[in-house]
Structure 1
Amino acid sequence: MRSAKFSGNRIIAILKQNEEGVSVPDMCREHGMGHAAFYKWRAKFGGMDTSLMRKIKELRAENARLKKMYAEERVKAEIRQDGIKAISA
């Protein structure tokens, strides 16, 4: 999996820099990023601070863990059902 070029804290810092009045073209040139990336970040992370971003990251990790746990339990349940069908047949 590809690692991100910009960390969450750096994205927040770039967005704050724009809020302080730095123009988008100047900022994109300075940080070596495209305009589209900036506007996507602003739509996704605008108004967030680093603690909120950290919380979102933790919730996503927990959600992935729970989805994996559910998938494993679902497979076990299907195996049990197949075993019951085989015994009763």
Structure 2
Amino acid sequence: MAKKKVEEPKIFQILKEAESGIPMKELSRKYGFTEQTLYRWRNKYGGLELSDIKQMKELERENSELKKIVANMALEIQAIKNVLGKKF
């Protein structure tokens, strides 16, 4: 089953409803997510403002890109070492 991509404003709205006292079971039926997903969002985003959530998502994307760059550089370094025949 494919995962649904949920935008930050929707997550924020759902969590605000949960904070207002609506049971997680009811919210899971209303929005079509498992209760576990809602609890995971609450643990990850609970207490944050929408701007904080957006900033966190942007930092996660940037971190992912940087990890890819580092992995590519490590491959290039290894290839250069292999070409030069040196063992470090």
Structure 2 length-normalised TM: 0.79
Distance between the aligned counterparts of 1:25 and 1:67, measured in 2? 37
The alignment-based identity, stated in percent, is: 29
After superposition, the Cα gap between the structure-2 partners of 1:18 and 1:64, relative to the gap in structure 1 and judged at 3 Å, is: same
**In terms of Rg, which structure is larger?**
1
Kindly provide the CA deviation profile for residues 50-75 of structure 1, in whole angstroms up to 9, marking residues without a partner as x: 11111111111111111111112112
Q: Which runs of 4+ in 1 moved over 3 A?
A: none
Aligned length: 85
Distance between the aligned counterparts of 2:85 and 2:26, measured in 1? 67
Distance between the aligned counterparts of 2:71 and 2:5, measured in 1? 31
Kindly provide the CA deviation profile for residues 14-64 of structure 1, in whole angstroms up to 9, marking residues without a partner as x: 111111122223222222222222212111111111111111111111111
After superposition, the Cα gap between the structure-2 partners of 1:53 and 1:85, relative to the gap in structure 1 and judged at 3 Å, is: same
Letter paired with 1:47: G
Partner of 2:24: 24
Structure 1 length-normalised TM: 0.78
Distance between the aligned counterparts of 2:50 and 2:68, measured in 1? 27
Where do 5+ consecutive residues of structure 1 fail to align? none
Partner of 1:55: 55
Q: Secondary structure at the match of 1:33?
A: coil
Partner of 2:43: 43
Q: Secondary structure at the match of 1:6?
A: coil
Q: Secondary structure at the match of 1:38?
A: helix
**RMSD of the TM alignment (CA)?**
1.9
Where do 5+ consecutive residues of structure 2 fail to align? none
Distance between the aligned counterparts of 1:12 and 1:44, measured in 2? 11
Partner of 2:65: 65
